[in-house]
Amino acid sequence: MEFDENDPEASADERINYEAAKKSIVDLIKAVGEDPERDGLKNTPDRVARMYTELLSGYATEPSKLINGALFQVNYDEMVIVRDIEFYSLCEHHMLPFIGRAHVAYIPAGKVIGLSKLPRIVDMYARRLQIQERLTRQIADFVQQTLAPQGVAVVVEAMHLCAMMRGVKKHDARMTTSAMHGAFRANLATRQEFLANISRGSEPLQF
């Protein structure tokens, strides 16, 4: 599925084709030498197609509806940090899950966003076929475009099942990525304040 990663609106019209997904799972079951008609597998194509509709629902999220009036004018210019936003995504190379948490911070320039919206922004981009680097960048760019703040910082930590299950090098399964705009990029002290905050008292990722 193609979409312009720089344009959050570009993918809004993408929808999962349930029938096509279901048929492809039948084909996949056959291709691995199994019988799609046997009891345990009979309903699997339906379940898997529905599952992908849910796991890949981010393509259908309309960014303007997601924000839905949750932007507020304020006189506040201190750092806002939301830590430990849990997410589940699918790596686009293997279509296996990568699971982790995102930390999002921004410094307002007159506008803030309702706190519950940041996890929904993360979900909108996580529930697609993704790579962690792009997920991180898209979250940061969306907050930047929506709030035009003094700065945005996003750090994403995740465990990649494609690395863990395929057992090549299990210690490479955990990855951290970051994307910074504005003050977080320009100002070392600002960046350090954010990084110190998100590392304070946080448990290492475990699954």
Binding residues vs Zn ion (CB under 5 A): 91, 93-94, 162
Our CB check for Zn ion shows the closer of 162 and 205 to be 162
Helices (H) and strands (E) in the chain, counts: 9, 7
Task: Please state, in angstroms and as integers, the Cα–Cα distance from residue 72 to each residue in 68, 76, 115, 143, 150, following that order.
Answer: 11, 11, 11, 14, 16
Catalytic residue selected from 144, 145, 162, 193: 162
* Closest separation in Å from C-beta 157 to Zn ion: 16
* Catalytic residue list contains 5: no
* Closest separation in Å from C-beta 94 to Zn ion: 4
- In the numeric block, the tokens 């940061």 are attached to 140
**What are 70's two structure tokens?**
């949750």
Answer for the pair 105, 79: CB distance below 8 angstroms, yes or no: yes
* Catalytic residue list contains 94: yes
Separation between Cα atoms, residue 11 and residue 172, nearest integer Å:
31
Catalytic residue selected from 94, 144, 145, 193: 94
* Closest separation in Å from C-beta 98 to Zn ion: 7
By beta-carbon distance, which residue lies closest to Zn ion? 162
Our CB check for Zn ion shows the closer of 50 and 94 to be 94
Q: List, by residue number, the catalytic residues.
A: 91-94, 132, 160, 162
